[in-house]
Amino acid sequence: MKIIMMPKVATFFLILLVSPILTNSHAFIPVDLNDVTAENTLVFNSGIVEIDSNFFTENNFKRYLIFGKDLQQNDFLKTNSIYGIRSDNGFFLVSVLSKDSASNLVSQGYTVIEDFKLDFYNEDEIQDASRIGDITGSNLAKKQYGSSGNGTVIAVVDTGVDFSNPDVQHSLARDDVNHPIMLDPDGQGIVLTNATFFAYIDENEIIRNYSKPIPSHMTSSVYVSRDGVFLDISQGGKGSNIPIYNSFFPQIGSSIIFNGTLSDDMKIGDDNRNYIKSKSGVYHLGVIYQGGLQGPMARIQVVPVLLVDSFISGVYDTLIPDLSTSWEDYTRFDLAPGKKANYDFDFTDEKPIVLGSGKEFLVYDSNNDGINDYSAGTFGAQVLDVYGAIKNNSTDIDDTLKAINGTLLPALDSDGEFFGLMTDFMGHGTSSAASITSRGQETYDIYNNSKKYSITGVAPDAKIIPVKALWFGDTVYGWLWSAGFDNQYHDWKFSGNPRVDVISNSWGVSNFPSFNVSPGMDVLSLILSVLVTPNSLDNDYPGVTIISSAGNSGHGYGTIGLPNASPFGISVGATTNNVFVGYGPFKDQPRFGNTIDHFNHVIDFSSRGPGSIGDPKPDIMSIGAHGFVPSNVLKIHKDSTDESFSLFGGTSMAAPLVSGSAAILIEEMKKQSKDYDSFLIKNILMSTATDLYNDPLTQGSGLVNVESALNYVNGKNGVFIVHNNNSYDNIKEILDPAIKKINSTDMGFEKFQLPLRSFPMTSWFAGQLLPGDRSTTTFTIDNPTNDTLVINVNPQTLSLITKTQFNGTTMLRQQDSILNKTDTFIPNYVKLSNLGHDSNLGNFFNEDNPIPEESSLMILNVNFNFSDFMNNTSDVYADDLKIASLYLYDWIDNNNDTKITSDELSMVNRAGSWGTVQELRVSEPNDKFKGVPLVGVYPVPTRYSYWLGDTKQNSTSMDYTISASYYEKEKWPLLWSNSEIITVPPNDSSTVDITLVTPNDFQTGVYQGFLSFESDKHTVNAPVSFVIKQPVIENDSAIVIKGIQSNDVLYGNGYTKGAFDMVNRYMAGDWRQYYFDIQNESINSASIEISWINEDTNLSVFVTDPSGQIIQTNVPSGVFGHFLDWTSLDWLGNSVFSQGGGFFPVKNKDDTSTVLYVPINQTGTYTILTHSTLFGGESTTEPITLAAKFTNISSNMISQNQQIDIESELVSEIKEDTIPPQNVSNTINDTSNTQPESDSSFSTGIAIGVGIGIAIGILFIFIIRQKPPK
């Protein structure tokens, strides 16, 4: 190892310090268009209010989640907690603390977890621009059944929702008195209005100037002049200090409330008879101080607001925002130097807003053209007093407010002290909601060609309850409240009915190691699973449908983070919809082709299963790449001609589209007076999905089809559903140990469990089995039609037919003859027929049609060496990167000149990640080409730095390999049915028993397939997965699991895919699972070595116990996790270029292996998770070999002078014995169980833990490296 000199260490930290942190992506731009520009400099001052410039500085406060007991003995916690749950048995708190305070609590034995910002998974007769209705089937559902979500309510748990766009205003949910229903558990939306101005109003309601001293508790008075009636704010030039709520806390500012000074008198009347009425004569003034901290909306918005009691003295009911003044302030940056904004400080020309009026939207039309230009949110949100702004962290109940610290405040304080506001400066939640409920009445010039389009959501008549949750700690409150629970005296009590029909989550947490638990077994996923399940939290609780985005961390497997990996929630992956071609940055870019014809293919970034327990995920798919949605009305320039729509994408879009589909289904169930619960809704959606011909761990059941779902409800078109009675019990058995470790009373629950009674599920998780085990389930087929159905039961799996390849070298900066513009380049084109093939596969292949007739799925990859991807001679690691992205076209040579031009290309699909392997997929490839299938390899023309983005340095050529893998569905011999043909009578059900028989020679891992139920009119693809565990019976058992060199790029065991992505999030890469069933109570330790082939490949490894807790890793975060909040030792963190997908090769043994020492303290199933954080790129897959020894270590075993060495002879033998490339059909290998007496060369590996500890201390050696010696 080389010791790195301090200048390079300093260089690295300098990069960290100057790199802004980018946590969310708000408009998906393909990676080969990724132009990282400088972040907007955020200016906190305003021309309206004067603020101490020293107040808005970043601080060392952070939010923490704290669990423990004996709260009464800790005065510090009691006085510094912002909210939480307390009980006799323990407590759960959210606190804002310094790092030193948090460390002190850890030393006292409390569990302290830093709260996390959430990852939001977005990547957008008049024609509808997004095709949402056509692709989801909602257009036909509306036409045939008149269902569009009417009477249903969806909670959008997201960044908030801005309802300023007329296309979504109608969808705001309201209560019985027409008040908006909005929840802000983040505590951002409090607006203080407790500056008071006294007016002397006589018995004739005439305002008179008041010469006597005003009441002492008043801020100032109201006066009359010839210019009108004014609040005396200037007070003779000294100004008025008013308290302002700091909506940016705790990120910015030293406290939750700060003082601002107003200097300009504000007009409230034209004369002493014509003025804004206040029955009490006391006017309440406040300032909305909010905005975005990053992205295009990184700007502060300041709005003076007036609260008055218009009808009853002392009961404040009317809000008047001075939006014209705020608009001038917001757009003042457009002014020429030295020119001042034209503030009018006048409330009389503004529109009063009353709760229940239906017009609670703070919107402003700056030029009176009838189109609003500016929004400051929606009045009437209930905000959680997270930081004690109202009661100053007191735990006493306030007699007036009826609120305690950590409980909900009223939407409007009747005493006029504050009100709640719902905003969304990130835009993500607004896009999520708009994709559901946009009514499609506004028109937009999408392609800037004067042609107008509408944008209609999937369920335009559904209602939305926005739930603002930017932090992990606030989502639970939002979920529970939405599910119908109320927080009463620190306990959660079920109110009797859920507040919503569906909860939609377009976010997740990728860096799960920070929670020390695997996704799906973590507390957030467990709460989601419990909330979905009826009777889990209360005997009367019916459960609620919760739909979550799977994540954007594909194309690797096992990339679904928390809580989206919850087995009982609905996880949604993403498919293509090429409507973005020709829009904005995609316009006149030849590599995107010339049409929007293609859609409904799995997109590369869609996260994939399995879950960490081995269950099949995701569950279903919908549009994620991409669609248009109405956006908030908020222009940042006065002369802006931008229209209020945006391009939306990612699984962030797919999840709300499925949520809207579920709402339509629930509406129809209600109309037909049918009983339902969340499990039935999930089963119907999965049973009626359209097959995308991918594997279950990629697509689940397929593409959501709400028309087919409604056909089932109405007994039409032969549609049936299937479900089994075994999955729930198998999953419950695995989750129960993790659930039992949660002290539910800490969270305020008397009951927190999965019920004993089983719930039906369409997908079958056959459990965690030993080799040779059998698992049996009973599938029920429900036929709601008036016809007898004859159904064929077919176990199916995808099998590789052939794989073709082409080797080439990129040629940069080639230009199109049609779009020959500066810095506009074309890919390197390769005909699909040019990809070579094995001579013995000639029966499947011909030059005219390179796609085998039997193929139902084509997977196209391009790979290149890591040395081409990253320049390892650079002084700073990951400072010089280059890639080539991948495209597939349908080329029709219109003029028969044999020359390829962009106007002859229709893009079928694309892939682009900052890694060494790209992957795109095409369903039913034989039906997708009218012309010549054409591959495009697009070399990104410039180099990039992980730390700084585009370096503007020209890229260079790189060698690459294109491979095309063709698959077909074939019979899966592991599943046996007691009958292959089932007859189901009309309006009745039939059952069929299915048995899984596992071979004795299966190695440990996850296996997948489908159980297909086919009639002449309808097909259900039920995903099936199971786990094979490796039994560990004897002490000193030595186990070798040999790696497999596979041609297959689908999920398999014994190898890993190249799927890492430097620009993505922590979960990106390819994950594999190994399961060991420890059956011997004397075993208390394991030594594990994992090895691979390519020295540029790197694997991080996590070991979890039977409850899912991480008990060992080769990349512990150590001191850097403590001081820098790093998730793991190999993580590079976020940068302007990346959302956290960058890793460094931390190797604690040698370049092609890593070792771990694992403590074992109980019997049960232990899981090893491997993560390909980097990949050599010489092929698309690489073998992984695992060697392990399970033993008992105690002081009695080791003599005083005995030396313990780490030896590697066994593993060296394993590497030499790695299985060579072979036919895919013959890749099942033996798992070796070596007896102790033959294991003399395999040491116990105690010192492995020492190596891991050393790795913590030598981090700098790895982060900034010099070129290694050859």
DSSP string, 82-130: EEEEEETTEEEEEEEEEHHHHHHHHHTT-EEEE--BPEE-------BSS
The DSSP secondary-structure symbol of 270 reads S
Q: Which amino acid is at 123?
A: E
Give the integer Cα–Cα distance in Å for 947 and 1137: 6
Q: Give me the pLDDT at residue 13, please.
A: 31
Exposure b/e, 920-934, CB count within 10 A at least 16 = b: bbbbbbeebbeebbb
Give the integer Cα–Cα distance in Å for 512 and 519: 7
Q: Are 821 and 588 in contact (CB under 8 A)?
A: yes
Rg (CA), the chain: 31
Q: Are 43 and 599 in contact (CB under 8 A)?
A: no
Judged against a pLDDT cut of 80, whether residue 1079 lies above it is answered with: yes
The DSSP secondary-structure symbol of 1000 reads T
Give the integer Cα–Cα distance in Å for 1262 and 1218: 28
pLDDT band at 36 (very low <50, low <70, confident <90, very high): very low
Nearest to 1012 by CA among 654, 587, 696: 696
Q: Give me the pLDDT at residue 77, please.
A: 66
Judged against a pLDDT cut of 60, whether residue 991 lies above it is answered with: yes
- The label of the residue with tokens 């991918």 reads 694
- The label of the residue with tokens 């030393």 reads 107
Which burial class, exposed, middle or buried, applies to 415 when counting CB atoms under 10 A from its CB (0-12, 13-18, 19+)?
middle
Give the integer Cα–Cα distance in Å for 167 and 152: 18
Q: Give me the pLDDT at residue 81, please.
A: 67
Mean of pLDDT values over 808-834: 95
Q: CA triplet 463, 536, 680: central angle to 5 degrees?
A: 55
CA dist list (Å): 159 to 180, 359, 389, 474, 524: 17, 22, 21, 11, 18
The DSSP secondary-structure symbol of 667 reads H
Least confident of 112-121, 246-255, 569-578, 835-844: 835-844
Beta bridge mates, 1012: 794, 1021
Give the integer Cα–Cα distance in Å for 397 and 424: 31
User: Tokens representing 1089?
Assistant: 């070595």
pLDDT, greater one: 1091 or 249: 1091
Give the integer Cα–Cα distance in Å for 548 and 655: 6
Mean of pLDDT values over 981-1000: 98
Mean of the per-residue pLDDT values of the chain = 87
User: Tokens representing 716?
Assistant: 């039409």
pLDDT band at 836 (very low <50, low <70, confident <90, very high): confident
Where are the alpha helices (H) located in 399-522, listed in sequence order? 428-437, 472-482
Mean of pLDDT values over 102-112: 75
Q: Where are the domains of the chain?
A: 9-114, 128-182+426-718, 190-422, 797-970, 1029-1193+1206-1236+1244-1263
- Angle at which helix 651-671 crosses helix 706-713, to 10 degrees, equals 20
Q: Are 465 and 155 in contact (CB under 8 A)?
A: yes
Q: Give me the pLDDT at residue 72, please.
A: 64
Q: How far is CA 351 from the centre of its chain?
A: 38
Mean of pLDDT values over 848-874: 95
The total of other beta-carbon atoms located within 10 Å of residue 638's CB is 16
Highest mean pLDDT among 738-752, 826-840, 1037-1051: 1037-1051
pLDDT, greater one: 630 or 36: 630
Judged against a pLDDT cut of 60, whether residue 30 lies above it is answered with: no
Least confident of 121-130, 251-260, 551-560: 121-130
Q: Give me the pLDDT at residue 1211, please.
A: 41
Percentage of the chain surpassing pLDDT 70? 85
Least confident of 92-106, 122-136, 154-168: 92-106
At 530, is the secondary structure helix, strand, or coil? Answer: helix
User: Tokens representing 3?
Assistant: 């010791």
pLDDT band at 983 (very low <50, low <70, confident <90, very high): very high
Task: Please give the backbone phi and psi of residue 707, each rounded to the nearest 5 degrees, phi first.
Answer: -60, -45
Q: Give me the pLDDT at residue 247, please.
A: 93
Beta bridge mates, 48: none
The kind and range of the H/E element at 548 are strand 545-549
Percentage of the chain surpassing pLDDT 90? 74
pLDDT band at 1196 (very low <50, low <70, confident <90, very high): low
CATH placement of domain 1029-1193+1206-1236+1244-1263? 2.60.120.380
Judged against a pLDDT cut of 90, whether residue 54 lies above it is answered with: no
Mean of pLDDT values over 736-752: 86
- The label of the residue with tokens 């800490």 reads 746
Give the integer Cα–Cα distance in Å for 862 and 1178: 10
Nearest to 495 by CA among 524, 537, 467, 526: 537
Highest mean pLDDT among 32-36, 930-934, 1232-1236: 930-934
Which burial class, exposed, middle or buried, applies to 1163 when counting CB atoms under 10 A from its CB (0-12, 13-18, 19+)?
middle
Mean of pLDDT values over 583-610: 96
At 989, is the secondary structure helix, strand, or coil? Answer: strand
Judged against a pLDDT cut of 50, whether residue 1241 lies above it is answered with: no
Task: Please give the backbone phi and psi of residue 1126, each rounded to the nearest 5 degrees, phi first.
Answer: -75, 140
pLDDT band at 94 (very low <50, low <70, confident <90, very high): confident
Judged against a pLDDT cut of 70, whether residue 1116 lies above it is answered with: yes
Q: Give me the pLDDT at residue 847, please.
A: 59
Where are the alpha helices (H) located in 631-750, listed in sequence order? 651-671, 678-687, 696-699, 706-713, 727-740
pLDDT band at 401 (very low <50, low <70, confident <90, very high): very low
Which of the four CATH numbers 3.30.420.140, 3.40.50.300, 3.40.50.150, 3.40.50.200 does domain 128-182+426-718 have?
3.40.50.200
Q: Are 424 and 431 in contact (CB under 8 A)?
A: no
Judged against a pLDDT cut of 70, whether residue 396 lies above it is answered with: no
Give the integer Cα–Cα distance in Å for 1081 and 381: 55
Q: Give me the pLDDT at residue 42, please.
A: 66
Q: What is the DSSP string of 1008-1049?
A: EEEEEEE-SS-EEEEEEEEEEPEEE-STTEEEEE--B--S--
- Using DSSP bridges, classify how beta strands 195-198 and 282-291 pair: parallel, antiparallel or unpaired: antiparallel
* Omega before 618 within 30 of 0, i.e. cis: yes
Q: Give me the pLDDT at residue 91, please.
A: 67
Q: Are 428 and 24 in contact (CB under 8 A)?
A: yes
Q: Give me the pLDDT at residue 373, please.
A: 96
Nearest to 1134 by CA among 356, 23, 122, 2: 23
Q: CA triplet 207, 211, 215: central angle to 5 degrees?
A: 85
Residues whose CB falls within 8 Å of the CB of residue 114, separated by 6 or more in sequence, listed in order: 62, 63, 64, 65, 102, 514, 1125
Q: Give me the pLDDT at residue 1244, please.
A: 35
Q: Are 490 and 86 in contact (CB under 8 A)?
A: yes
Q: Give me the pLDDT at residue 44, please.
A: 74
Q: Are 981 and 761 in contact (CB under 8 A)?
A: no
Q: CA triplet 350, 351, 354: central angle to 5 degrees?
A: 140
Q: How many CA atoms lie within 13 A of 221 on its CB side?
A: 17
The DSSP secondary-structure symbol of 146 reads -
Give the integer Cα–Cα distance in Å for 391 and 396: 8
Please tell me the total number of residues recorded for the chain in this structure. 1270
Q: Give me the pLDDT at residue 29, please.
A: 46
User: pLDDT digits over 1029-1077, tens only?
Assistant: 999 999 999 999 999 999 999 999 999 999 999 999 999 999 999 999 9
User: Tokens representing 1039?
Assistant: 């186990």
pLDDT band at 686 (very low <50, low <70, confident <90, very high): very high
Beta bridge mates, 961: 807, 863
Residues whose CB falls within 8 Å of the CB of residue 756, separated by 6 or more in sequence, listed in order: none
Nearest to 160 by CA among 557, 469, 561: 469
pLDDT band at 60 (very low <50, low <70, confident <90, very high): low
The total of other beta-carbon atoms located within 10 Å of residue 54's CB is 7
Mean of pLDDT values over 1162-1189: 98
Q: Give me the pLDDT at residue 160, please.
A: 97
Q: Give me the pLDDT at residue 1250, please.
A: 33
CA dist list (Å): 1044 to 1052, 1055, 1219: 9, 6, 5
Nearest to 502 by CA among 562, 565, 437, 438: 437
Task: Please give the backbone phi and psi of residue 171, each rounded to the nearest 5 degrees, phi first.
Answer: -90, -5
Which burial class, exposed, middle or buried, applies to 49 when counting CB atoms under 10 A from its CB (0-12, 13-18, 19+)?
buried
Beta bridge mates, 783: 988
